[in-house]
Amino acid sequence: MERTTLITGASGFLGAHVVAAAVARSQAEGTLAEPLGPLVVGQCRGSALLAPRFCSPREAAQWIEADLLSDAGGLLERVRPTEIVHCAALSRAAACEADPPGANALNAEVPAQLAAWAQEHGARFIHVSTDQVFGAEDAPDGGFDEDSSPGPVSEYGRSKLAGERAVLEAMPSATVARLPLLYGNSAGRGLGASDSILEQVERGERPRLFVDEWRTPLEVSCAGAALVELLDFDAPGVVHLAGPDRVSRHRFGVAVLQSMGLSRDEAEAELVPTHQAELDAGAPRPRDVSLNASRALAALASDLPGVSVGLARVH
């Protein structure tokens, strides 16, 4: 059977890396008898010009434009994927807070629609979710594991949790992969936790970073590789993919600048240590949504490195 891997949100920060990882897997799976592994198709809402930067060669993936709010069904019928990694989302917390119905439509209703199609057509389905389904309570020592009870504090977290539940109801064999704060190469777009800091510093600003907000960050290309590896797993239900280090946003910012060659003192001088209560971020922010990824680590070959190793790979 011809295999086709559809990655939604392929123009996004994570999606572009998932496409690159899927292309690498497809090329690695090629044999003399069947030179091509799965066809990789990246869905973009608008221009896909930036997304292919991580693909080598660019033409190794196909690109298709579609708005998932109006044309998810049409996209699926055009592509007829045998496997899907669903990355597209309304991912900015402030935008979700300003428009809860819009957040629910993209983050819950669309995933449910895709999962129902996958269930009906026997396609593998990986749904990308977030650590922000937690937050009502701080993470325990070692982080939240897959059995921990979610409790979001924002519309973003609530809509993503609704999406998880809708996906698993429509397709119990789907995998819901919860990711932490992602950092790494955004192709000069200032996306993600590290490039956003670097962009601000380059503009001459001093980023305000929280000293009382903790995450277990993961380098984005490693997240992409792990998601693609999950395609070959029979892994129904929730899985946590995260790095091993629990760091504050401020400590993470210092590490980002140190990875660019600054001393610790120089890095700290570029940043403004800030408490959550001092800054209105447009949405309630959880304090500590650290994830425990030990189950994934035990099962996957993909690396889920800590902050210093991950940053060293990027810079």
Ligand X SMILES: NC(=O)c1ccc[n+]([C@@H]2O[C@H](COP(=O)([O-])OP(=O)(O)OC[C@H]3O[C@@H](n4cnc5c(N)ncnc54)[C@H](OP(=O)(O)O)[C@@H]3O)[C@@H](O)[C@H]2O)c1
Enumerate binding residues for ligand X (CB under 6 A).
Answer: 9, 11-15, 45-46, 67-69, 87-89, 91, 106, 128, 130, 160, 179, 181-182, 191-192
Burial letters 141-158, b for 16+ CB under 10 A, else e: eebbebebebbbbbbbbb
Residue at shortest CB range from ligand X? 12
Q: What is the DSSP string of 295-314?
A: HHHHH-SS----HHHHHHHH
State in angstroms the smallest separation of the CB of 86 from ligand X. 7
- What residues contact residue 247 under an 8 Å CB cut-off, 6+ apart? 214, 215, 216, 217, 255, 307
State in angstroms the smallest separation of the CB of 225 from ligand X. 15
Q: Which is nearer to ligand X, 37 or 134 (CB)?
A: 134
State in angstroms the smallest separation of the CB of 51 from ligand X. 8
Q: Which is nearer to ligand X, 262 or 297 (CB)?
A: 297
Q: Which is nearer to ligand X, 15 or 243 (CB)?
A: 15
What CA–CA distance (Å, rounded) separates 283 from 265? 31
Q: Which is nearer to ligand X, 9 or 150 (CB)?
A: 9
Q: Which is nearer to ligand X, 160 or 250 (CB)?
A: 160
- What residues contact residue 104 under an 8 Å CB cut-off, 6+ apart? 159, 162
What CA–CA distance (Å, rounded) separates 120 from 190? 39
Q: Which residue do the tokens 């579609």 mark?
A: 66
State in angstroms the smallest separation of the CB of 98 from ligand X. 15
State in angstroms the smallest separation of the CB of 91 from ligand X. 4
State in angstroms the smallest separation of the CB of 205 from ligand X. 20
* 148 phi, psi to nearest 5 deg: -65, 145
Residue in 209, 312, 218, 220 with CA at minimum distance from that of residue 268 = 209
